[in-house]
Amino acid sequence: MDAEAQTRFESWDNNKLAMTLFLLSEGTFFVFLIIAYVYYHSLSNTGVEAAKVLDPLKTGIYTIFLLSSSFTVWQSEKSLRRGKQRAFQTWLLVTIVLGAIFLFGQGSEYLHLYGENVTISRNIFGTSFFTLTGFHGLHVLLGLISLAVIFVLALTGEFAEKHSSAVEAIALYWHFVDWVWVVIFSVIYLWTLF
Amino acid sequence: MSDIPFPGAGEALPLTGPQEKSAGLLGWVSSVDHKKIGIMYLMAGLVFFGVGGIEALLMRIQLAVPMNSFLSPQTFDQIFTMHGTTMIFLVAMPVLTGLANYLVPLMIGASDVAFPRLNALGLWLLISGGLLLYFSFVAGGAPAAGWFNYAPLSEKAYSTTNGVDYYSLGLLITGIGSVTAGINLIVTIIKYRAPGLSIRRLPLFIWMVLITQFLIILALPALNASLVMLLIDRRLNAHFFEAVSGGSALLWQHYFWAFGHPEVYIVILPAFGIISEVIPVFSRKPIYGYEYVAGSTVAIGVLSFLVWAHHMFAVGLGHSIDSMFAISSLLIAVPTGVKIFNWIATMWNGSIRFKTPMLFATAFLVVFTIGGLSGVSLAIFPIDWQVTDTYYLVAHLHYVLFGGTIFGVFAGLYYWFPKMSGRMLSERLGKWHFWTTLIGFNMTFFVMHFLGLMGMPRRVYTYPNLPGWGAMNMISTIGAVIMGLSSLIFIWNVVVSNHSGELAGDNPWEAWSLEWATTSPPPEHNFDRIPPIRSRRPLWDLAHPENPDWKNGR
């Protein structure tokens, strides 16, 4: 009776299930920061300053790096399932590099804005912009650290088996970080074009 | 019975955690055993209950007579802020998480939770957050902007000490701990149920805990987001909640209550679960309408996210928004009423045994219903406008949080203490505890309804000598002192009974769920064997092979 009653979730691995629940929680956290940005956009007309100081094209290019890392981490998982250790490690490394390039892009953008005297304390645009993108950047950084740990473990042959729920859970997290950025990029950068 | 296969020792019970050897204090502090962690949660909650209770008594002493000067206005503000914050975050949540921690693996026939080390992390985050919050007293002054910490009062310009920063950091840390515990319990309930324990046979306490954990992982992020925004405002001179520089104080209210209202259900649903376990066992009947009790919990969980602005009727959000939130708030009374009637129907025609757990459960039905009814009246916003920020609200929230959560918790503690310690709590002291609590509680809070309707504002350190105010406040204060004494009786009972109480045996209440199938206290791996589970009451089936539930379609 219970084998039949098993739902989809019951067949999930613990780590993947826990990560999904964690991402549900994190997603809610970002929803509140995103709503705050949108709210101040209309309340205090922060879009004007966003259009003035942000560079959607440059950030858009860095965005492509981040989004393609979703593809590479998926390739990495696929290679592991097929038992191709070498390809698994290589795709993992590519993912880390792509993520690092994105983070570098964000760092240089922050430096540029700081030079223009756009800071978190200057006005409500700076406040909502740096909080939202900053928390996303922090999540990218944590993802990179996790991927790096996985990569080092992979080099030591930790994932000799064809299945690792740790890799799958971290990949899930990485996809989450990427797709949250799609929303943030749309709300902050693409909005300046209209 | 012989045709039912018993799993052998340890079978079908995946051992999740590292097994422990160390004993003594180190054994406790370093433990990853869900039972020890559960008990530590309960003890932390009990300590903070004492602290929060002393804060309540200080307020009641100040308010005992008109124009009193026992506490300064500044101290009074700090005390009521810390009292509310403590009781919600450091008492109600940890005690319920502690009970869930102790009971979930036992009630579903597992050896531990899914992630034992994460479980320990959650406990220590809670304790650290609580200590950090209390550190504010010696670091320049406790937060004084109320437990919901409204902006702009909580901003740097108006709260100049570091109290609000400690509030934010402390609650962030306990909040992260709550989310880890929530994730852990959900995975445990989904993945570690014993063979045969399908979702439709799950004990109702587990049902309520499961729904609560979903509320926790979805509602706490709203609080965490608000707290980091406030911290960024205060420490980095940002402008989220500062209206002068384009921010919005109103957003804090929306965000806080987007968390705050689900939070109300986070601290009441597990109590509903306790009541749903205690009432059937002491009425010697299966729960009436199992599906409706479980289903109405889901309804409450969903609705709890749609009612937050009823805390903000006085803000002036406009007639249509107020009406919408009034209707959604009134709707919540329906699934809650369903539960109350199910519990009464379970007691109906039962052979009720009024042991202490049942006394608390029965009193819960009455006092919680009073709180529910004053809640319905507050959902009607013209009434809310009339009594907003008066003692009417204080009466309401204590009838649901003390009369609901705390009465439920006491029912649960008397019910499960024998399982945790192997010894019964004294019935004689238990009855003293019950009656003093009930009398003290109603003396303290019932008069507050009238004080509120007469216009006495909450959160003001003193009041003029208006007709009746002094007398009613004195009654309230005497009630609070009685409640304080009743808590001492409880602690005395726990200490004495834990040492030399009557031995409990495996199943002292002749209950039917799995936690009673193992020894009291259970061994570290919980079960040597699990009885076959073919209905909602596996231990009933085991004791009554001639008339098992599964033959009667239950």
Q: Do A123 and B221 touch (CB under 8 A)?
A: no
Q: Do B222 and A28 touch (CB under 8 A)?
A: yes
Average pLDDT over residues B68-80: 96
How sure is the predictor about B27, in pLDDT bands with cuts at 50, 70 and 90? confident
CA-nearest of B104, B108, B123 to B32 is: B123
For domain B31-257, give the fold.
Cytochrome C Oxidase; Chain A (1.20.210)
The contact set of B with A (CB < 8 A) is 114-115, 179, 182-184, 186-187, 190-191, 195-200, 217-218, 220-222, 224-226, 228-229, 232-233, 236-240, 245-248, 251, 255, 258
Kindly report whether the global pTM for this prediction surpasses the value 0.80.
yes
pLDDT tens digits along A119-173: 999 999 999 999 999 999 999 999 999 999 999 999 998 888 888 899 999 999 9
pLDDT at B551: 81
* Predicted confidence (pLDDT) at residue B12 exceeds the cutoff of 50: no
pLDDT tens digits along B117-170: 999 999 999 999 999 999 999 998 999 999 999 999 999 999 999 999 999 999
For domain B268-502, give the fold.
Cytochrome C Oxidase; Chain A (1.20.210)
pLDDT tens digits along B442-467: 999 999 999 999 999 999 999 999 99
Q: Which residues of B65-92 are buried (b: 16+ CB within 10 A; e: fewer)?
A: beeeeebeeebbbbbbbbbbbbbbbbbb
Q: Do A29 and B224 touch (CB under 8 A)?
A: yes
* C-alpha span between B206 and B217 (Å, rounded): 17
| DSSP-derived secondary structure for B336-360 | HHHHHHHHHHHHTT------HHHHH
Q: Which residues of B123-155 are buried (b: 16+ CB within 10 A; e: fewer)?
A: bebbbebbebbbebeeeebbbbbbbbbebbbbb
pLDDT tens digits along A43-98: 999 999 999 999 999 999 999 999 999 999 999 999 999 999 999 999 999 999 99
pLDDT at B9: 40
Contacts of A131 in chain B (CB under 8 A): 228-229, 232, 238, 240
| The pair of three-digit structure tokens given for residue B338, joined into one six-digit string | 């369903």
Residues of chain B with CATH 1.20.210.10: 31-257, 268-502
Q: Which domains does chain A have, with CATH numbers?
A: 13-193 (1.20.120.80)
pLDDT at B483: 98
Task: Identify the burial level of B321 via C-beta atoms within 10 angstroms of its C-beta, where 0-12 means exposed, 13-18 middle and 19 or more buried.
Answer: middle
* C-alpha span between A179 and A159 (Å, rounded): 27
